[in-house]
Structure 1
Amino acid sequence: MFGSAQEPVVSPAAAEGPASYRKSLALLASLFFMWGFITVINNTLLPHLRSVFELNYTQTTLIESVWFIAYFVASIPAAFLIERVGYKKAIIIGLIVMAVGALGMVPAARIPSFGVTLGALFVIACGIALLQVAANPYVAVIGPPESSESRLTLVQAFNSMGTFFAPYFGGYLILSRTVSGTSLEGTQITLEQRMADAQATQLPYILVAVVLVAIAIVVARSSLPTLGSGTRRANAEERKRLSLWKHRNLVFAVPAIFIYLIAEIGVANLFISFVILPEIAGITPAQAANYLILLWGGMMVGRFSGSFLMRRFPATRVLAAFALFATVVMIGAATLHGPIAMWCLILVGLGHSIMFPAIFAMGIKGLGPLTEEASGLLIMAIAGGALVIVQGWLADQFGLQASFWLTVACELYVLWYALWGSKPTNDASAEDMQPAEA
């Protein structure tokens, strides 16, 4: 049984839709904001760590690979945890795990230690994976199924709002307060300066930990509706006649999420390193962080506008249009030089904006009692971000700009999924739709 007896029960196709659960959705939006915020702080942190630990591109992208390996490790256990303790307690646990990881960045900066840094980031990512497994399907099924893509895209816009503010926060509290962050590419930094720079990460992560604990307290004092039995993990008897792999929209959504994350994380993590190149914009990392804000701002604008468009046009067509746009601008980023190449990379944020929520909602459409299990698989596919290390290797071997051809290939798969792979089969949502007992 999910949740406590005091929590209201929600059937996945509740006719009243999300309006009746506005407070719950607003609270969930704060979670989306925070995990977007923390994830993108890493993008600001990467060039800083690259200088402190004198890393090459492969080692730098290893940091983000460890982050996304956590999704692979934690997502399926998270689905079992949600079944055991309910959505509300799982969300609180996820927030506390994230806070512990954020505090782990303090000793990592004091030592300083690359290994401890990787460990702390892994713990934070495990907490985020738990939140993702809980919150994404909750938002997708809490209202009418025909508007699930629009609803999830709208709430994901608050995730993008977090990603929009994070580069400014990280740029101000980390990059602008360090020697490496205010120096041009190629400037020699002494050992003493690098050790002093390492301390700059302590305050931002202490503040993040405090906010996470505060949100956990708010969630603990709130009343979140419990999802009905139509979205519960199927019991042993039901499981014999239900199969995830008979749902084409899910089967192709898992690699779509995996591949999309390679594109999104590759662009975000290598953005600053790309923009500071003399042949592109030739600016400092601190200045480049301001342009990174525009990349994430484009994702926020795209999600708000995408949510609006998906209420008027088929979600598959909207996703296809955004994927085609992303393909075009990424070809520009991979081939052009000067500021225009930088602006192409900024604009891909607009193309990427609706991809995750649209693919996720399409992937679980018609899954009914298999929704939780499918959600665990889709969140596990976020581990695709770990393969950003492949782009780091390509950058070391063939040049940073040439490595963006990998991103172009990723956009093309999402375009294919929108046009064909997302078509649902074997609707299971009509079965087992009675509300769970409170």
Structure 2
Amino acid sequence: MNHNTAPEIITTGDPSSGKKYVLPFILVVSLFFLWGMAHNLDSILIPHLKKACNLNNRQSTLIDTSVFFAYFLMAIPAGMILKKWGYKATMISGLLAFAFGAFLFVPAANNLSYVTFLVALFIIGCGLTMLETSANPYAAVLGDPAKATSRLNLAASFNGLAAMVAPMIGGLFILSGKSHTKEELAAMSEGSRNHYFLEEAASVKMPYITLGIILLVIAVIFYFIHLPEIKTKSIDGEAKGSFFGALRHQHLRWAVIAQFFYVGAQVCVTSFFIRMAQQGGGFDEKTAASYLAIYGFLFTAGRFAGTALLQFIASHQLLSIYAVISVLLCLLAITGSGVIVVYALGGLGFFMSIMFPTIFALGIEGIGDDTKPGSSWLIMSIVGGAILPFGMGTLIDMYGDHIQVGYSIPLVCFVVVLFFGLRGYKIAHR
């Protein structure tokens, strides 16, 4: 949020009472959980739809591309919608788009159409962009300004909770535990093969129908519940920052690059987690999903631990330490075998946890009027989640479906993050 603006909540009734904010805040927190569910179910969908739609690794990563490219395309329009319609209408619109995308999973599964799945995920991504664009600042200003940071941390913890819950739900209701080699599929009759593919695809319908119904119910609640209005008052005139002018700050440019690679690394790690646990760790599909839930727990724990450590260690130093450890864990995942490979991936969850907010904060430090456009660049840089997993899938296919080789992509990403923590974060004084 721009440092030149002061959000003001306009309400009726006794402004000294914080009770009126409790229900709106609970509703906003539910959004953090729901978009966390959407993102973390993608880690289940990638190996699952790879089977159901008979895809190669590169094709399966188009799931990530669809969602994160939607973020890239919708980042600016979502901001415009927020400015024109306000927080409540933007959140409801995001929920409706999210629900529509979830319901599209039914015809996609019925027709075994991977393209329809991708369209559905793109629409979900557009809905998520509207939710994140509106819910983050709304949670920050919904109550006592002195407690804004604690409110955001509380809301974000439910996002972390979803990282644990989604793999459990996906493992229970989506993953079948059945898999066939290319040779086994070729030996099947065409009817048996099609039945297998349709049966696999059908398992996504119930979870996504349920999710869609929940989203519609929450959208209706949002419609009927009074939400305090938020107006932004300028303290010292209009901000002078410009979208492209913000890039004159060298440390912001490096932050955008680091964020691109960090988000790409995180999505790469989770997208191939289940297949890595199967191939490198020797686990079955269901067990691999349970370890993905443990990864989610470690990611959440890492965020709390990192927040505590930042009280004693400079943020760029902690970022550098975590990046070095992440590089070493990637090396272990690439060269190791058995359960140690899965432990390495779980460790990555812990040490990646603080990277996004830390890079973000370092990137906008000291850029004054360019804070708001600088923030937009950092949000748009998450397009790395659309591009780098596609590269990882391509590399895996080039090496004959050797998943461990693919983890050299996140390894390189963490080297870029390390450079930012050591040098790139420094503000160039003119």
Give deviations 1:342-397, integer Å, cap 9, x for gaps: 21112101111111222223333445554443333222211111121000011111
Matches within 5 A, 1:79-228: 79-136=79-136, 155-175=155-175, 178=176, 181-183=177-179, 188=184, 190-220=193-223, 221-224=225-228, 226=230, 228=232
> What's 1:62 paired with?
62
Output the CA distance in 1 between the equivalents of 2:25 and 2:248.
Answer: 31
Amino acid at match of 1:50: K
* Native 8 Å contact 2:168 2:289 kept in 1: yes
Per-residue CA shift, 1:259-293, capped at 9, x if unaligned? 1111111111111111111xx22222122111111
**Could you tell me which residue of structure 1 aligns to residue 245 of structure 2?**
243
Match of residue 339 from structure 1: 339
Cα deviation, residue 313, structure 1: 3.5
Q: Report the AA paired with residue 188 of structure 1.
A: E
- What do the CA deviations read for 1:233-284 (whole angstroms, capped 9, x no partner)? 956xx3579931233443222222211111111111111111111xx22222
The CA deviation at 1:115 is 1.0
Give the CA deviation at 1:319: 2.4
2:392–2:406 CA contact under 8 A, matched in 1: yes
- Contact 2:8–2:232 at 8 Å: present in 1 too? no
Matched, 1:256 2:258: yes
Q: Cα gap change, 1:239/1:410 in structure 2, threshold over 3 Å: closer, same or farther?
A: closer
CA, structure 1 residues 23+369, in 2 after alignment: closer, same or farther (shift >3 Å)? Answer: farther
Distance 1:266 1:239 in 2: 34
Structure 2: gaps (5+ residues):
13-17, 186-192
- Structure 1 residues 282 and 53: alpha-carbon distance in aligned structure 2, compared to 1, 3 A threshold: same
Q: For 1:420 and 1:145, how far apart are their aligned partners in 2?
A: 33
Does the residue aligned with 1:223 lie in a helix, a strand or coil?
Answer: coil
TM-superposed deviation, 1:20: 11
- The question of whether the paired residues in 2 share the 8 Å contact of 1:145 and 1:365 is answered with no
Query: Does structure 2 retain, via aligned residues, the 8 Å contact 1:150–1:311?
Result: no
**What displacement does 1:326 show?**
1.5
After superposition, the Cα gap between the structure-2 partners of 1:98 and 1:2, relative to the gap in structure 1 and judged at 3 Å, is farther
Shift of 1:152: 5.2
Q: CA deviation at 1:318?
A: 2.8
2:282 aligned partner: 282
Query: Residue 228 of structure 1 aligns to a residue in which SS?
Result: strand
Residue in 1 that maps onto 2:373? 373
Secondary structure of the equivalent of 1:188? helix
State how 1:295-310 maps to structure 2 within 5 Å. 295-310=295-310
Contact 1:154 1:307 in 2 (8 A): no
Kept in 2: contact 1:233–1:370 (CA 8 A): no
What TM-score results when the alignment is normalised by the length of structure 2?
0.84
Question: Closer, same or farther in 2 for the Cα pair 1:43/1:239, shift >3 Å?
Answer: closer
User: 1:70: Cα distance to partner?
Assistant: 1.0
CA–CA distance in structure 2, aligned partners of residues 103 and 290 of structure 1: 26
* Structure 2 CA distance for aligned equivalents of residues 28 and 424 of structure 1: 35
The separation in 1 between residues aligned to 2:136 and 2:357, in whole angstroms, is 8
SS at match of 2:203: helix
Deviation of 1:22 after TM superposition, in Å, equals: 7.3
Equivalent residue, structure 1, for 2:269: 267
Give how far 1:416 is off: 2.2
Change (3 A) 1:213 1:378: farther
Provide closer, same or farther for how the CA distance between residues 255 and 171 of structure 1 changes in structure 2, counting only shifts above 3 A.
Answer: same
Q: For the Cα contact (< 8 Å) 2:9–2:228, is it kept in 1? A: no
Q: Give the letter for the 2:206 counterpart.
A: L
Aligned-partner Cα distance in 2 for 1:7–1:312: 39
Distance, in Å, in 2 between the alignment partners of 1:287 and 1:117 is: 25
Which one is further off, 365-374 or 189-198?
365-374
User: How many aligned residue pairs are there?
Assistant: 410
In structure 2, what is the Cα distance between the partners aligned to 1:127 and 1:74? 9
Aligned to 2:403: 400
- Residue 323 of structure 2 contacts residue 414 of structure 2 at CA under 8 Å; is this kept in 1? yes
> Displacement, 1:5?
8.1
1:410 and 2:408 matched: no
What is the CA distance between 1:228 and its match in structure 2?
Answer: 3.4
SS in 2 for 1:401: helix
1:356–1:240 CA distance, 2 compared to 1 (3 A): closer
Counterpart CA distance in 1 for 2:245 and 2:233 is 17
After the TM superposition, which of the residue ranges 239-248 and 124-133 deviates more from structure 2? 239-248
RMSD across aligned positions (CA): 3.5
Deviation digits for residues 206-254 of structure 1, max 9, x if unmatched? 111122223334444253563634699956xx35799312334432222
Measure how far apart 1:83 and its partner are. Answer: 1.9
TM-score by length of 1: 0.82
